[in-house]
Structure 1
Amino acid sequence: TPGHEAFTAMRARGAQITDIAIIVIAADDDVMPQTKEAISHAQAAGVPMIIAINKVDRPNANPDNIRQQLSAMNVLVEEWGGNVQSQEVSAKFGNNMDALLEKVLLQAEILELKANPDKSASGVVIEASLDKGRGYISTILVQAGTLKVGDYVLAGKNHGKVKAILDERGKTMEEAGPSIPVTILGLDGAPTAGDKFRVFADEREAKTIATKREQLQREQSVRTKKHVTLDELGRRIALGDFKELNIILKGDVDGSVEALSDQLQSLSTEEISVKIIHQGVGQITESDVLLAAASDAIMIGFNVRAGVNAKELADKEEIEIRTYSIIYKAIDEVKEAMEGMLSPEIKEQVIGNVEIRETFKITKVGTIAGCMVLTGKVTRNSKIRLLRDGIVKFEGELESLKRFKDDVKEVTKGYECGLNIKGYNDIEVGDILEVYEEISVKKKLK
């Protein structure tokens, strides 16, 4: 189970295609949120679980703490009178692995898990990626029937003849039966993780279905594109600063692209909408860069890099390509970029209070006030509010600020000063001037 919260869809898919789930929990730690989620997925899909309590060789291991936490989640292990099998293991030293496998076989016997190997293969796509030398590679799990080299496979909107079947260690195989995960070469694209696949005897039929599915998918994506309605336009105008962040996303495997795409789209706020305008598997190509240039998008590569030509084109077009290998770094950086796109909030900070002790009327200048700084300071270029009996009478700025006969930039608490207010002369003894500055604060995403 990948530990990051973004991989929810991957965990859900895992629960849908398994017959038995082994939940691995470290004995020297607590049951983590993602592990709890994996357990919930297994329960929702009705998949029996076997709990493997790992790292029991550690000096601070406490398996009973794990059993206790599981019981709080309504998962009772057999040792505590429940019906969920559990086994203490150490992956590092290989302790009790045979006992764990025995429990898996026992569970399989109870469930009477059977599949027919003597028919055309069908199953599910687990992952897909693009290999430079070998083309599109799909990791699949055969659920029924037997898959042979040379079979014609349809998976989602992709199809092709199986050129090679490889096991988990990359060794070639001639065929794969039920419940065997294999990597196959020969499809014309990267199918989506979770797509069902099946073998067709008639190549033409498979191609027709694939074309039809592709057409439907294209229609669907056109229909779900959000066009700007009058209400939406009104909302954007009311907001004033509405922005869109377009992203083109490429990754090494389909599962990561899906997880990252979901997470980035969920960052959208009232003011900034995040749009994934294209996502795919494989290295960043020239056509991706051209699309980014046409749609003012930023390019994000997850565990992939840009090809030489694409890089040159990106430099020429001044398109930024960001590459990441850790999912939360990508999410955090996009979040930071969005916070930079938000217009800053202007906040007021009161820096001082000044009391008017005396007023002098001078022809051609207006009213000059003799004042005492009560708190903080008053500066020559700060803004002021004139308060009389706690009511704001005037807001503006200073014309001049003096100490004795000299012009000064600031006067601090406890000192006297003379000042006059730009464009306002109705000053009385006892008025208070509130001196404030306006500072811009970077907005945070909600």
Structure 2
Amino acid sequence: MSKVRVYQLAKELGISSKELIGKLEELDIAVTNHMSTLDEDTVEIMKELYYEEPKEEIEDKKQIDKKNTKQKKNKNNSDEVELQADKKIIIMPDTITVQEFSEKIEKSVSEVITKLIGLGVFASANQQIDFDTAASIALDFGIEIEKEEEKEEVELGLEQTPDKPEDLKERPPVITVMGHVDHGKTSLLDAIRNTNVTAREAGGITQHIGASEVEVNGKKIVFLDTPGHEAFTSMRARGASVTDIAILVVAADDGVMPQTLEAISHAKAANVPMIVALNKIDKPNANPDRVKQELSENGVLIEEWGGDTICVPVSALKGEGIDNLLEMILLVAEMQELKANPNKLATGTVIEAKLDKSRGPVATILVQNGTLKVGDPIVAGASYGRVRAMLNSKGKNIKKAGPSTAVEILGLSDAPEAGDKFNAVKEDKIARQIVEKRRAKIREESLNATAKVSLEDLFKHIKEGEVKELNIIVKADVQGSVEAVKQSLVKLSNDEVKVKVIHGGVGTITESDIMLASASNAIIIGFNVRPSSTVTNLAKRENVDLRTYRIIYEAIEDVEAAMKGMLDPEYKEVVLGKVEIRATFKVPGVGTIGGAYVLEGKVIRNAKVRLVRDGIVIFEGAISSLKRFKDDVKEVATGYECGIGLENYNDIKEGDIIEAYIIEEVKRG
């Protein structure tokens, strides 16, 4: 007779496994659980005990058992299957929270925590445990768990198949305009697309990546306009990585400058052909030959000097040479034979991303292959979603976007990082799985705290050896600016102190940013954003140094000066008060007047003001009029209503906050 398990004998005797184990223990027969095997003698004893059958009948029963071996074997197999069904095998990842683990094994959180304590592990419901710990606890509950196999993103559904030559079709070229600050990059694009972007930029510098399309001789050209200041090196690098042709704008009256050299490096690193646009040739002091000489000294030899780089003299201001430049772009593009497969799921790159209060996360993307359609599930970095709407470069809604098309999309879960790759996938479920894996990796990164510092006393702490790392949190109005500030600040690291950007995000400075800065002893730098009064007050309570800037290099200069102990606080901004716009009125001959309520502090007639909408600075300037009822007044205090007008600005909306401030000289001790 083959060995019989406890649960099999119990079933045959018509009793529970627990009762049978109890009876066996009374007879000093050692068993551990219902899976324990029993020898032939023990089985006979138990049968005698429960059946109270004579020995002859037992012998007869043995014969019957032998005759029905096959049936019993089948019965045993079915019991094994039944037990296997009871014995759960659960698939789990490398790490899992206690809450999720308890749900998977269908036990209460308290039971799991009790077992953890028994193993010497103290964890709350939301804390993670590793696979080995989970396996030990599961075994105690009689449950088997297996480690989840790591699935590659390709397996999860990201299309990676190479395109067949017959599927490829001609696509428009993507052009990046690069060069030194103030050499006329944006003005050149203005001349091409008849727009004026520069006038809206703070300090006349392009600070966000933009994308636009123009049509020349029936063919489309896509332009990426990258900022020119050296703080945006990383943004220019990203532009070059997605481009087919780089236009290097060099001023004929200025020559090769540091950012010109960086632009050349990026174009060469990306292995893209370059066209030199020699701008400002209309200026009396223009010297094209000197510029060509400087370019040749830095590895760019133009065609007329025996090289392979096309050079086109242009004047963005007067529109000279623009047609010739566009023809050269099409010629170089034709030589490259640019092709893509429009009949597949779209892939491409995120050019820019921001948070919009009314529309949610908005991303500007460049489709590089395939066709993106409204309704497609997509993955972009650590964000996912379904494309709810697509807008082209002219702001019009479109249903689909083919290769080399720059579009603004809505529908993502949150704003992705600028420069992230995006992929359209077949199902929402696939997008969610991919993003969950990516987010899990991001969560693994931890923050290291250092001593609390402010920029004023940074040098003192460095000298005393208290600061080895300077933690900084960066918040800006768009993702590209966040990345640019981060890259620039990290470069300031030296032998004595390492600059570490522990967090960078899009949108206004929030309470959670203050708490993170407090916990990690960081300085907060805001670019083109303004915190609310609640956040400012919390920063004071938590002793967090919070600074806001409108021009990036001012932030960089401040941190650099503080590290050298040379931060001279010549002037300091003092916020006088905040005013909320509650109604707007259009007055003929005057413009838009805001019916306002002074929330805190006071507003005075000769103060400087900034208009803040959803935490983003929209306008900076001066007050044109300040009235109480029909009378002009010099100031209005907290709790009073007033009428307020801004100089040369009429786009005032309900809910806007006007912040009044003055600049005063402050001497630091």
TM-score by length of 1: 0.69
Which of the residues 287, 301, 316 maps onto 2:526? 301
Go from structure 1 to structure 2 and tell me whether the alpha carbon gap of 1:155 and 1:312 turns closer, same or farther (over 3 Å shift).
Answer: same
2:513 matches 1:288: yes
Residue 74 of structure 1, CA deviation: 2.7
- SS of 1:198's equivalent in the other structure is strand
Go from structure 1 to structure 2 and tell me whether the alpha carbon gap of 1:203 and 1:79 turns closer, same or farther (over 3 Å shift).
Answer: same
Q: State the AA in 2 paired with 1:16.
A: S
2:127 matches 1:127: no
Q: State the AA in 1 paired with 2:426.
A: A
Go from structure 1 to structure 2 and tell me whether the alpha carbon gap of 1:73 and 1:274 turns closer, same or farther (over 3 Å shift).
Answer: closer
What is the distance in 1 between the residues matched to 2:308 and 2:260? 19
2:553 matches 1:328: yes
List aligned pairs for 1:207-222, cutoff 5 A. Answer: 207-219=432-444, 221-222=445-446
- Percent identity between the two aligned chains: 58
What is the distance in 1 between the residues matched to 2:230 and 2:480? 13
Q: State the AA in 2 paired with 1:150.
A: G
Q: 1:242–1:272: 8 Å Cα contact kept in structure 2?
A: no
2:344 matches 1:139: no
What is the distance in 2 between the residues matched to 1:191 and 1:159? 9
- SS of 1:163's equivalent in the other structure is strand
2:323 matches 1:98: yes
Residue 171 of structure 1, CA deviation: 2.6
1:169 counterpart residue number: 394
What is the distance in 1 between the residues matched to 2:229 and 2:367? 27
What is the distance in 1 between the residues matched to 2:384 and 2:290? 49
Which entry has the higher C-alpha Rg, 1 or 2? 2
2:245 counterpart residue number: 20
List aligned pairs for 1:29-48, cutoff 5 A. Answer: 29-48=254-273
Q: 2:277–2:311: 8 Å Cα contact kept in structure 1?
A: yes
Q: 1:15–1:45: 8 Å Cα contact kept in structure 2?
A: yes
Go from structure 1 to structure 2 and tell me whether the alpha carbon gap of 1:245 and 1:66 turns closer, same or farther (over 3 Å shift).
Answer: same
Go from structure 1 to structure 2 and tell me whether the alpha carbon gap of 1:175 and 1:76 turns closer, same or farther (over 3 Å shift).
Answer: same
CA deviation vs aligned residue, 1:30-54 (integer Å, no higher than 9, x gap): 1111111111221222101111111
Residue 316 of structure 1, CA deviation: 4.5
Gaps of 5+ in 2: 1-177, 179-226, 451-460, 568-669
Q: 1:127–1:253: 8 Å Cα contact kept in structure 2?
A: yes
What is the distance in 1 between the residues matched to 2:398 and 2:315? 31
Residue 270 of structure 1, CA deviation: 4.0
- SS of 2:412's equivalent in the other structure is coil
1:78 counterpart residue number: 303
CA deviation vs aligned residue, 1:293-352 (integer Å, no higher than 9, x gap): 33332211011111354234334445332111222210111223334499xxxxxxxxxx
Q: 1:121–1:144: 8 Å Cα contact kept in structure 2?
A: yes
List aligned pairs for 1:231-380, cutoff 5 A. Answer: 241-243=465-467, 244-340=469-565
CA deviation vs aligned residue, 1:272-311 (integer Å, no higher than 9, x gap): 3433232111111121122223333221101111135423
CA deviation vs aligned residue, 1:240-268 (integer Å, no higher than 9, x gap): 52214332211122222122112223323
1:114 counterpart residue number: 339
- SS of 1:162's equivalent in the other structure is strand
Q: State the AA in 2 paired with 1:200.
A: V
Structure ranking higher in helix proportion: 2
- SS of 2:231's equivalent in the other structure is helix
Q: 1:242–1:271: 8 Å Cα contact kept in structure 2?
A: no
CA deviation vs aligned residue, 1:12-68 (integer Å, no higher than 9, x gap): 222211111111111111111111111122122210111111111222222222222
What is the distance in 2 between the residues matched to 1:45 and 1:218? 31
Go from structure 1 to structure 2 and tell me whether the alpha carbon gap of 1:308 and 1:153 turns closer, same or farther (over 3 Å shift).
Answer: farther
Residue 108 of structure 1, CA deviation: 1.0
2:427 matches 1:186: no
Go from structure 1 to structure 2 and tell me whether the alpha carbon gap of 1:174 and 1:245 turns closer, same or farther (over 3 Å shift).
Answer: same
Go from structure 1 to structure 2 and tell me whether the alpha carbon gap of 1:44 and 1:267 turns closer, same or farther (over 3 Å shift).
Answer: closer
What is the distance in 1 between the residues matched to 2:495 and 2:253? 43
What is the distance in 2 between the residues matched to 1:122 and 1:80? 40
What is the distance in 1 between the residues matched to 2:265 and 2:534? 46
What is the distance in 2 between the residues matched to 1:288 and 1:70? 45
What is the distance in 2 between the residues matched to 1:326 and 1:149? 37
Q: State the AA in 1 paired with 2:478.
A: V
1:11 counterpart residue number: 236
Which of the residues 201, 216, 240 maps onto 2:426? 201
1:59 counterpart residue number: 284
CA deviation vs aligned residue, 1:346-398 (integer Å, no higher than 9, x gap): xxxxxxxxxxxxxxxxxxxxxxxxxxxxxxxxxxxxxxxxxxxxxxxxxxxxx
Q: State the AA in 2 paired with 1:24.
A: V
- SS of 1:141's equivalent in the other structure is strand
Q: State the AA in 2 paired with 1:91.
A: A
TM-score by length of 2: 0.47
Go from structure 1 to structure 2 and tell me whether the alpha carbon gap of 1:169 and 1:313 turns closer, same or farther (over 3 Å shift).
Answer: farther
Structure of greater relative contact order (alpha carbons < 8 Å, 6+ residues apart): 1
1:150 counterpart residue number: 375
2:457 counterpart residue number: none
Q: State the AA in 2 paired with 1:155.
A: A
- SS of 2:361's equivalent in the other structure is strand
Q: State the AA in 2 paired with 1:94.
A: G
What is the distance in 1 between the residues matched to 2:441 and 2:522? 26
What is the distance in 1 between the residues matched to 2:258 and 2:328? 26
Gaps of 5+ in 1: 229-236, 343-446
1:358 counterpart residue number: none
Q: State the AA in 1 paired with 2:293.
A: Q
Go from structure 1 to structure 2 and tell me whether the alpha carbon gap of 1:44 and 1:336 turns closer, same or farther (over 3 Å shift).
Answer: closer
Go from structure 1 to structure 2 and tell me whether the alpha carbon gap of 1:187 and 1:308 turns closer, same or farther (over 3 Å shift).
Answer: farther
Q: 1:161–1:187: 8 Å Cα contact kept in structure 2?
A: yes
Residue 8 of structure 1, CA deviation: 2.4
- SS of 2:339's equivalent in the other structure is coil
1:233 counterpart residue number: none
- SS of 2:554's equivalent in the other structure is helix
Structure ranking higher in strand proportion: 1
**More moved, 72-81 vs 25-34:** 72-81
Residue 7 of structure 1, CA deviation: 2.4
Go from structure 1 to structure 2 and tell me whether the alpha carbon gap of 1:304 and 1:79 turns closer, same or farther (over 3 Å shift).
Answer: same
Q: State the AA in 1 paired with 2:406.
A: P
What is the distance in 2 between the residues matched to 1:35 and 1:238? 35
Residue 100 of structure 1, CA deviation: 0.9
What is the distance in 2 between the residues matched to 1:116 and 1:93? 39
Go from structure 1 to structure 2 and tell me whether the alpha carbon gap of 1:238 and 1:34 turns closer, same or farther (over 3 Å shift).
Answer: closer
Residue 87 of structure 1, CA deviation: 1.0
- SS of 1:280's equivalent in the other structure is strand
Q: Aligned Cα RMSD in Å?
A: 2.5
Q: 1:249–1:299: 8 Å Cα contact kept in structure 2?
A: yes
Q: State the AA in 1 paired with 2:481.
A: S
